[in-house]
Amino acid sequence: MDAWWRAANYLAVGQIYLLDNPLLREPLRREHTKPRLLGHWGTAPGLNFVWAHLNRIIRERDTDTIFVAGPGHGGPAVVASAYLDGTYSETYGDIDKSTDGIRKLFRQFSFPGGIPSHAAPETPGSIHEGGELGYALSHAYGAAFDNPNLLVATVVGDGEAETGPLATSWHSNKFIDPERDGVVLPILHLNGYKIANPTVLSRIPEQELCELMRGYGHTPYVVSGGFDSEDPRDVHERMAATLDDIIDHIAQIKAAAAAGTLEGRPAWPMLILRTPKGWTGPQVVDGHPVENNWRSHQVPLASVRDTEEHVQQLHDWMASYRPEELFDASGAPREIATALAPEGDRRMSANPVTNGGLLRSPLRLPDFRDYAVDVPNPGETTSSATGALGEWLRDVVRDNPDNFRIFGADVTASNRLSAVFDVTDKQWDAGFLPIDSDNHLARAGRVMEMLSEHQCQGWLEGYLLTGRHGMFNSYEAFIHIVDSMFNQHAKWLEGSTTIPWRRPMSSLNYLLSSHVWRQDHNGASHQDPGFLDLVMNKKPDVVRAYLPCDANTLIATYDHCLRSVDKINVVIAGKHPENNWLDMPDAIEHCTRGIGLFDWAGTEVVGQEPDVVLACAGDVPTLETLAAAQILRERIPELRVRVVNVIDLMRLHSESEHPHGLSDAEYDALFTTDKPVIFAHHGYPWLIHRLTYKRAGHANLHVRGYKDEGTTTTPFDMVMMNDLDRYHLVIDVLERVPGLMSRHAAFWQEMQDTRLHAQQYTREHGEDMPEVADWKWISV
């Protein structure tokens, strides 16, 4: 045990400091060290300690275990462990078990062209980056769902534990099914410090901390040691004994669950591990305490290139691990250092669960065409788009009972996906009442709802990263709560897709409903379509944004998304009954193109250029655009109007910038190079400019969209407040098509007056005027 740990610590320190002389076979000199010392030492000994002890458990009990390193900044530790158990050399052949291999291992760390300083997609055995703290337990639980035999050992930094997402993720234990899901073992690592401060949880009385953990529903176990120069071997002993107790306790719960004798929710064990930050590192550097202090967080000896003293201290530190005992003459780790490693796939670095694509099998998807809503003619019927999707999702759930889950923050019903509750329940183990038969709650179910967008996102990520499928439905505005998690997942994909041994994983699918234009009970706080702007910042290879215009296009889009891999698909759709425009065959064609003419809606003459293009993206903009087209058709029949609808926003990108981008020729064909284009967009208007600024016709493009005007009001008042309404689109056409205004000034004024009238009507009646509320499309 201790030998493994010493070896892992040695390898961690070596990665941070050494370019050469990796095994100290000659006296350490400044030039052996790296010119830029980058990395985090403080957390490494703790991570290595836990890893070593888990290895013993795995060997003794053959448990299927993976490791989640909350303090993923301890990259050197997880890499060291993967090296010791052999996975690293198997994955990266040139980092072999030799002095030269170790030299390369050291050199590449945080080195240009090498590997990042954190656990990363490059790290075998990792599903968790840990760069942005807060998501360790959510990822862990996501991995545990539907993996009944898996143990997810999860180190939570005591600093990380202060973040909001982590603080609520303890409650995940009320959402896990002891029978059909795996087990998460949280290991709260109280090393006492974060970057430059002590941590809250390390400073409150242990009694209070245990109450907190019991209040979170856990049974806390405590191991504390390594302080005041306590011999680590004593701590090993206590740790081993406690871990045995914990694993026994878990086994009891699992056995009871399997036997059906489990009463109520189990108080799952968790471990509080209190050891010094930077344990076994330098005690004092330049007169400052380092071990058991925040000063050990990054690189304790910052001047090894500059002072002999630091070089000497580094040498003594590394030598204290007795490398000569740990590595043989050729540099290969000796049996004593590696004996603890489990076999094959049981190694935490090699567990296939951590490379989910290996295990992933495609979903069984019912033929979505069977779920088409009936559309005899455009606009003749209405449907709730998400409601219609729900019918198909119901059968997706039914046909994939153990590898597909739907996540939502208490809004799955509000977003009208309730059809799924015909075949499944919301998984819940926080306590049941008789009335819950009415609430679709059960200990096992495919829908996961907790009022935390962070949890939904984190759980889903963990679930996908371990080879399964899922989707997250949210209110559009509140998806910003996980902006940063989206960013991090996108970065993971940007990285993992370039790593050959990482196999493709299921895409992360969003369904954003209750969107900016239809808020009913809520006002400005619930209105924000800006997530799209964030999404567009990520690399084109990994992000997709879809704005289906009606029910059938939503269903066709979602079928595509659930089949895709290595993407983040953002789909925005309404939940209220709205017009259906396309029957399923047309919807399929339209979605496949991602953009196209609604020739049934325009007044073009074959062979001639249109006078104006009305473009639209999103359900409400499509409605307003078609209503505007209809007004124009009635009032200025000679005007040649083209209607273009966009489902796949990425089509607007240049071919060179996004794989879905239209060629300039295609774009010009659709939008013309010189005619006015009035573009009604679901989100902030600038996004469309940003996508099209290089296009020939850009100077003629005039975009309407949300400009942050909102409150609790009627649907049509909302679009009017943002100048996206049909009357304003008509006004835009009149003002932009050369010569039109002067010929139709009275009509222009009428449109202005109609807007005023529509507004006044809402003020008087509290609802939209009938000609808007009851508007119907009349076929050309």
Ligand X SMILES: Cc1ncc(C[n+]2csc(CCOP(=O)(O)OP(=O)(O)O)c2C)c(N)n1
Q: Where does this chain bind ligand X (CB under 6 A)?
A: 42-43, 71, 73, 131-134, 157-160, 163, 189, 191, 193-195, 199, 277, 297, 409-411, 451, 453, 475, 478, 481
Q: Which of its own copies, Mg ion, ligand X, none interacts with 238 (beta carbon under 5 to 8 A by kind)?
A: none
Q: What is the 3-state secondary structure (H, E, C) of 435-503?
A: HHHHHCEECCCCEEECCCHHHHHHHHHHHHHCCCEEEEEEECHHHHHHHHHHHHHHHHHHHHCCCCCCC
Q: How far apart are CA 391 and CA 101, in angstroms?
A: 56
Of 166 and 701, CB closest to ligand X: 166
CA–CA separation, 160 and 517 (whole Å): 37
Give dist(CA 663, CA 675) in Å, integer. 18
Helix (H) / strand (E) element for 183: namely: strand 183-190
Contact between 483 and its own copies per CB under 8 A: yes
- Choose the one of ligand X, Mg ion, its own copies, none that binds residue 203, judging by a C-beta under 5 to 8 angstroms depending on kind: its own copies
Q: Which two tokens stand for residue 461?
A: 């990520």
C-beta separation of 611 from 641 below 8 A: yes
112: exposed, middle or buried (Cβ count in 10 Å: 0-12, 13-18, 19+)? exposed
Q: Which does 96 bind (CB under 5 to 8 A by kind): Mg ion, its own copies, ligand X, none?
A: none
Q: Which is nearer to its own copies, 62 or 211 (CB)?
A: 211
Q: 410 vs 668, which CB is nearer to ligand X?
A: 410
Among 2, 20, 100, 132, binds its own copies (CB under 8 A): 132
- Strand pairing partners for 155? 69, 187
DSSP string for 524-576: GGG---THHHHHTTS-TTTEEEE---SHHHHHHHHHHHHH-BS-EEEEE---S
Distance (Å) of CA 293 to CA 177, 190, 289: 40, 12, 6
Shorter beta-carbon distance to Mg ion: residue 74 or 387? 74
- The nearer residue to Mg ion, 76 or 596, going by C-beta atoms, is 76
Task: Provide the β-strand partners of residue 154.
Answer: 68, 186
State how far the Cα of 436 lies from the Cα of 177, in Å rounded to an integer: 17
Cross-strand pairs, 579: 382
Of the residues 11, 52, 105, 166, which one makes contact with its own copies according to CB under 8 A: 166
Choice from 103, 194, 502, 744 touching its own copies (CB under 8 A): 194
Nearer Cβ to ligand X (452/497): 452
Q: Is 617 helix (H, G, I), strand (E, B) or coil?
A: strand
Q: Is 289 helix (H, G, I), strand (E, B) or coil?
A: strand
Question: What minimum distance in Å lies between the beta carbon of 202 and its own copies?
Answer: 8
Which region, judged by CB under 8 A, interacts with its own copies, from 166-174, 350-358, 363-371, 375-383?
166-174
How far is it, in rounded angstroms, from Cα 588 to Cα 367?
12
Write the burial class of residue 607 (CB in 10 Å: 0-12 exposed, 13-18 middle, 19+ buried): exposed
Q: Determine, following the binding rule CB under 8 A, whether residue 433 of this chain makes contact with its own copies.
A: yes
CA dihedral over 32, 36, 38, 42, signed as positive or negative: positive
Taking CB under 8 A as the criterion, the residue among 526, 576, 682, 728 binding its own copies is 526
CB nearer to its own copies: pick between 148 and 445: 445
Residue 42: name its binding partner from Mg ion, its own copies, ligand X, none (Cβ under 5 to 8 Å by kind): ligand X
**534 touches its own copies (CB under 8 A):** yes
Within 13 A of 543's CA, how many CA atoms are on the CB side?
23
CB of 743 to its own copies, least distance (A): 27
Residues 189-248 that bind Mg ion (CB under 5 A): 191
Which one, 73 or 103, has the nearer CB to its own copies?
A: 73
Q: Which amino acid, 139?
A: H
What would the x/- binding string for Mg ion be over residues 151 to 170, using CB under 5 A? ------xxx-----------
Considering CB under 8 A, how many residues would be counted as binding its own copies?
Answer: 129
Listed residue (581, 548, 629) closest to 378, CA to CA: 581
- Whether the Cβ atoms of residue 33 and residue 107 lie closer than 8 Å to each other: no
| Closer residue to ligand X in complex, CB, 200/251 | 200
200 binds its own copies (CB under 8 A): yes
Please say which residue, 160 or 566, places its beta carbon nearer to its own copies.
160
- Single out the segment in contact with its own copies by CB under 8 A; choices: 21-29, 327-335, 370-378, 484-492: 484-492
Contacts of Mg ion in 101-160 (CB under 5 A): 157-159
**Which region among 160-168, 222-230, 251-259, 390-398 touches its own copies (by CB under 8 A)?**
160-168
35 binds, among its own copies, ligand X, Mg ion, none (CB under 5 to 8 A by kind): its own copies
C-beta of 161 vs 595, nearer to ligand X: 161
Where in 598-657 is the site for its own copies (CB under 8 A)? none
Number of residues that bind Mg ion (CB under 5 A): 4
Is 322 or 765 the residue whose CB approaches its own copies more closely? 765
Residue 286 near its own copies by CB under 8 A: no
Q: Least distance (Å) from its own copies to the CB of residue 653? A: 11
Please choose which of ligand X, Mg ion, its own copies, none residue 530 contacts, taking the beta carbon within 5 to 8 angstroms, the exact cut-off set by kind.
its own copies
Position 494 contacts its own copies (CB under 8 A): yes
CA distances 376 to 86, 373, 580, Å, are: 63, 10, 9
Q: How far is CA 490 from CA 445, 534, 647, 741, in A?
A: 28, 11, 22, 47
Asked if residue 453 binds Mg ion (CB under 5 A), the reply is no
Closer to its own copies at the Cβ: 305 or 346? 305
Residue 436 CB, shortest distance to its own copies, in Å, is 7
Nearest to 280 by CA among 317, 334, 255: 317
Nearest approach, Cβ of residue 532 and its own copies (Å):
10
Rg of the chain's alpha carbons, rounded to an integer? Answer: 30
Our finding on whether 569 is near its own copies (CB under 8 A) is no
102 or 490: whose CB is closer to ligand X?
490
- Binding to its own copies in span 400-429, by CB under 8 A: 410-414, 426, 428
Query: Considering only CA atoms, which of 412, 3, 444 is closest in space to residue 236?
Result: 3
Nearest distance from C-beta of residue 239 to its own copies, angstroms = 24
40: contact with its own copies by CB under 8 A: yes
| Span 523-552, contacts to Mg ion by CB under 5 A | none
Strand, helix or coil for residue 384: strand
Q: Which residue is nearest to ligand X (CB)?
A: 157
Binding mask 616-655 for Mg ion (x = CB under 5 A): ----------------------------------------
The nearer residue to its own copies, 55 or 700, going by C-beta atoms, is 700
DSSP-derived secondary structure for 108-158? HBTSTTSB-SS--TTSTT-S---SSSS-HHHHHHHHHTT-TTEEEEEEEET
Cβ(466)–Cβ(359) below 8 Å: yes
- Contact residues toward Mg ion (CB under 5 A) are 157-159, 191
